[in-house]
């Protein structure tokens, strides 16, 4: 048990480091305004939310970010017209510290509303309700037993927890609830708080490493689809509200906006569909067992090792290259576009021939050709754009549009008093190349172009890359399978 828990804790350390490291690329999050309310958040241009990663709230499956709280956040930020930046933290006390120190604007975790938490944060309107459930193992031969016999063999009466040892996540409300329960039943319950999140503790119950843990009902039900040997039908609390949290000071505007949105959205069909997707979906166990459920495996595709190999040749974080490939092909090695671009990196066969590579011959050769093309783009833009972060935007845009159109947009920006080395300026002029007034300008050498797709291409790749940085380790080591 200890070896497995240490292995898991090591993975958490790797993930935490990978979210903030910048050995290969600069931090893409930019400057932050501390203690910002909604007005300052809008001025900044993005909402910074801290959430936890697990099988319900925030995870990556087959290369794409998913999760109940993640999709709620996206819906809110899209409707509010604010970009979203997510940072991850699975320890609620640390998340509260991030909130109150101004490193985040919002805690978007499923926090149990109680008096203790109200001393530290303000809660939004309730997003859901849950009970705290005891997680225990069923008997070895439970499949051949009746439901009544199974009930008799496990703990169903809370009084029977007397004298038992229960492991819970450190800092969670589960420890507080169990201590209250011990007082209520007039006996002792040994509560062991450990720095591991609920899903790891559930896994250790399923393995037989520990006897009991307590977790929220939603998380318990999802994990029961993956671990059929666990029993999750004994509540240790009454129903409790779950909500998000904001700072107690200087968050009045944000809290009011969130409450208006939550009150309306919870009544919609979209909310019902979203809730069912994550908490009543029989496919949840299939996702968790997948090789491409990144929280367990650290993988987004079967080509990760090749991606790592070739990302090193251009000094890119492998997660950035993986995000580009996901954008281009969703990791389908045989997809062909209407224009004839082929494979994982959607390389034109003529481009591959330029580098002496048949892009249809293998996924490895397709990635090799795509990376060689990226390296060629570096030779164009490295001398022109000093800032590494800015340069990345231009290279990604050129991968989609071709460098000629991007260079045209740089010249248009410069001619019209904007900074040709700032992507925020140049992307405007790239989109103006669909207007005859601009694509006929004397500085334009490559004619008409609709730049909207290329601008979105850059944004979507970098957004997904940030999700990968949140969850995937930079190095090849990942959590024990």
Q: What is the pLDDT of residue 10?
A: 36
Q: What is the pLDDT of residue 285?
A: 74
Q: Is the pLDDT of residue 369 over 70?
A: yes
Q: What is the pLDDT of residue 100?
A: 94
97 and 114 housed in the same domain: yes
313 and 281 housed in the same domain: no
339 and 447 housed in the same domain: yes
Nearest-CA neighbor of 370 among 333, 338, 404?
333
Cα(366)–Cα(363) distance, rounded to whole angstroms? Answer: 5
Q: Is the pLDDT of residue 407 over 70?
A: yes
Q: Are strands 59-61 and 106-112 parallel, antiparallel or unpaired?
A: unpaired
Q: Is residue 429 part of a domain?
A: yes
* Residue 276 tokens, joined: 């069912």
Q: Is residue 108 part of a domain?
A: yes
CATH number, position 308: 1.10.530.10
Angular region, 208: left φ>0, alpha ψ -120 to 50, beta rest:
left
More confident residue, 12 or 275: 275
Is 77 within 8 Å of 83 (Cβ atoms)?
Answer: yes
Q: Is residue 318 part of a domain?
A: yes
Q: Is residue 253 part of a domain?
A: yes
* Residue 325 tokens, joined: 């490939």
Cα(241)–Cα(249) distance, rounded to whole angstroms? Answer: 22
314 and 451 housed in the same domain: yes
Is 337 within 8 Å of 359 (Cβ atoms)?
Answer: no
pTM of this structure: 0.83
Q: Is residue 233 part of a domain?
A: yes
426, with CB counted inside 10 A (0-12, 13-18, 19+), is buried
Per-residue pLDDT reduced to its tens digit, 247-256: 999 999 999 9
End position of a domain, from candidates 297, 315, 332 = 297
| Range 70-97 average pLDDT | 95
323 and 444 housed in the same domain: yes
Is 289 within 8 Å of 61 (Cβ atoms)?
Answer: no
202 and 259 housed in the same domain: no
More confident residue, 20 or 433: 433
Q: Is residue 444 part of a domain?
A: yes
The residues, ordered by sequence, that sit 6+ positions from 9 with a Cβ below 8 Å of its Cβ are 195, 196
What confidence category does residue 379 fall into, taking pLDDT thresholds of 50, 70 and 90?
A: very high
Q: Which helix (H) or strand (E) holds 294?
A: helix 294-297
Instruction: Tell me the backbone φ, ψ of residue 60, rounded to 5 degrees.
Output: -120, 130
The residues, ordered by sequence, that sit 6+ positions from 398 with a Cβ below 8 Å of its Cβ are 377, 380, 381, 405, 406
CATH number, position 103: 3.40.190.10
Per-residue pLDDT reduced to its tens digit, 418-477: 999 999 999 999 999 999 999 999 999 999 999 999 999 999 999 999 999 999 988 765
Q: Is the pLDDT of residue 323 over 80?
A: yes
Q: What is the pLDDT of residue 134?
A: 98
Q: What is the pLDDT of residue 34?
A: 56
Q: Are strands 64-66 and 165-169 parallel, antiparallel or unpaired?
A: unpaired
| Percent of all residues in the chain with a pLDDT value above 70, rounded to a whole number | 91
Is 326 within 8 Å of 64 (Cβ atoms)?
Answer: yes
Q: Assign 3-state DSSP to the chain and report helix, strand, coil percentages, each to 5.
A: 50, 15, 35
Cα(390)–Cα(117) distance, rounded to whole angstroms? Answer: 41
Cα(419)–Cα(441) distance, rounded to whole angstroms? Answer: 18
Q: What is the pLDDT of residue 474?
A: 87
Is 246 within 8 Å of 259 (Cβ atoms)?
Answer: no
Q: Is the pLDDT of residue 13 over 90?
A: no
3-state secondary structure 35-85: CCCHHHHHHHCEEEEEECCECCCEEEECCEEECHHHHHHHHHHHHHCCEEE
End position of a domain, from candidates 219, 238, 257 = 238
Cα(139)–Cα(150) distance, rounded to whole angstroms? Answer: 7
322 and 434 housed in the same domain: yes
For the chain, what is the mean pLDDT?
91
What confidence category does residue 36 fall into, taking pLDDT thresholds of 50, 70 and 90?
A: confident
The residues, ordered by sequence, that sit 6+ positions from 11 with a Cβ below 8 Å of its Cβ are 298, 473, 477, 478, 479, 480
138 and 267 housed in the same domain: no
Which range marks the domain in which residue 386 is found? Answer: 304-465
Cα(296)–Cα(60) distance, rounded to whole angstroms? Answer: 10
Matching residue, tokens 């050709």: 369
Q: Is residue 272 part of a domain?
A: yes
What confidence category does residue 5 fall into, taking pLDDT thresholds of 50, 70 and 90?
A: very low
| Range 25-51 average pLDDT | 75
Per-residue pLDDT reduced to its tens digit, 157-208: 999 999 999 999 998 999 999 999 999 999 999 999 999 999 999 999 999 9
Cα(135)–Cα(154) distance, rounded to whole angstroms? Answer: 10
Q: Is residue 6 part of a domain?
A: no
Q: How many structural domains comprise the chain?
A: 3
Q: Is the pLDDT of residue 3 over 50?
A: no
Instruction: Tell me the backbone φ, ψ of residue 110, rounded to 5 degrees.
Output: -80, 85
Largest CA distance in the chain: 86
Nearest-CA neighbor of 427 among 462, 456, 464?
456
CA distances 222 to 57, 92, 142, 273, 417, Å, are 11, 21, 20, 16, 55
283 and 416 housed in the same domain: no
Q: What is the pLDDT of residue 29?
A: 40
Cα(374)–Cα(28) distance, rounded to whole angstroms? Answer: 19
284 and 181 housed in the same domain: no
Buried b (16+ CB within 10 A) or exposed e, 62-92: bbebbbbbbbbbebbbeebebebbbbbbbbb
Q: What is the pLDDT of residue 2?
A: 39
Instruction: Tell me the backbone φ, ψ of residue 237, rounded to 5 degrees.
Output: -150, 165
168 and 189 housed in the same domain: yes
Judged by average pLDDT, the poorest of 251-260, 264-273, 287-296, 394-403 is: 287-296
348 and 456 housed in the same domain: yes
């Amino acid at each position: 048990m200890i070896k497995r828990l240490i292995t898991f804790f090591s993975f958490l350390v790797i993930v935490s480091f990978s979210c903030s490291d910048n050995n290969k690329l600069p931090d893409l999050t930019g400057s932050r305004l501390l203690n910002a309310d909604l007005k300052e958040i809008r001025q900044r241009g993005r909402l910074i939310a801290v959430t936890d990663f697990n099988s319900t709230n925030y995870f990556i499956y087959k290369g794409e970010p998913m999760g109940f709280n993640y999709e709620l956040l996206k819906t809110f930020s899209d409707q509010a017209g604010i970009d979203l930046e997510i940072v991850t933290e699975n320890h609620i006390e640390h998340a509260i510290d991030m909130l109150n120190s101004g490193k985040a604007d919002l805690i978007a975790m499923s926090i149990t509303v109680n008096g203790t938490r109200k001393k530290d944060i303000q809660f939004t309107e309730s997003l859901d309700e849950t009970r705290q459930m005891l997680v225990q193992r069923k008997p070895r031969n439970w499949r051949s037993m009746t439901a009544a016999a199974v009930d008799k063999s496990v703990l169903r009466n809370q009084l029977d927890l007397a004298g038992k040892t229960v492991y819970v996540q450190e800092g969670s409300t589960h420890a507080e609830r169990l201590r209250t329960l011990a007082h209520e039943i007039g006996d002792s319950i040994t509560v062991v708080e450990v720095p591991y999140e609920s899903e790891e503790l559930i896994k250790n119950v399923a393995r037989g490493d520990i006897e009991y843990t307590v977790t929220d009902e939603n998380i318990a039900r999802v994990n029961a689809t993956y671990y059929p040997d666990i029993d999750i039908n004994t509540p240790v609390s009454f129903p409790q509200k779950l909500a998000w949290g904001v700072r107690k000071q200087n968050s009045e505007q944000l809290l009011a906006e969130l409450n208006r949105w939550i009150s309306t959205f919870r009544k919609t069909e979209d909310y019902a569909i979203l809730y069912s997707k994550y908490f009543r979906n029989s496919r949840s166990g299939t996702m968790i067992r997948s090789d491409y459920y990144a929280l367990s495996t650290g993988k987004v595709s079967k080509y990760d090792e090749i991606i790592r190999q070739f990302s090193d040749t251009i000094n890119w974080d492998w997660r950035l290259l993986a995000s580009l490939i996901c954008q281009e092909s969703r990791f389908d090695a045989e997809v062909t576009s209407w224009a004839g671009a082929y494979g994982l990196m959607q390389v034109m066969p003529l481009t591959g021939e330029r580098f002496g590579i048949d892009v249809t011959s293998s996924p490895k050769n397709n990635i090799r050709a795509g990376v060689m093309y990226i390296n060629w783009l570096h030779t164009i833009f490295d001398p022109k754009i000093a800032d590494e972060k800015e340069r990345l935007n231009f290279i990604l845009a050129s991968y989609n549009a071709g460098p000629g159109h991007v260079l045209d947009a740089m010249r248009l920006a410069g001619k019209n008093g904007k900074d040709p080395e700032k992507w925020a300026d140049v992307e405007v002029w790239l989109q103006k190349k669909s207007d005859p007034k601009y694509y006929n300008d004397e500085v334009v050498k490559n004619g008409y172009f609709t730049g909207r797709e290329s601008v979105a291409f850059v944004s979507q790749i970098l957004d997904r890359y940030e999700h990968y940085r949140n969850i995937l380790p930079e190095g090849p080591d990942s959590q024990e399978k």
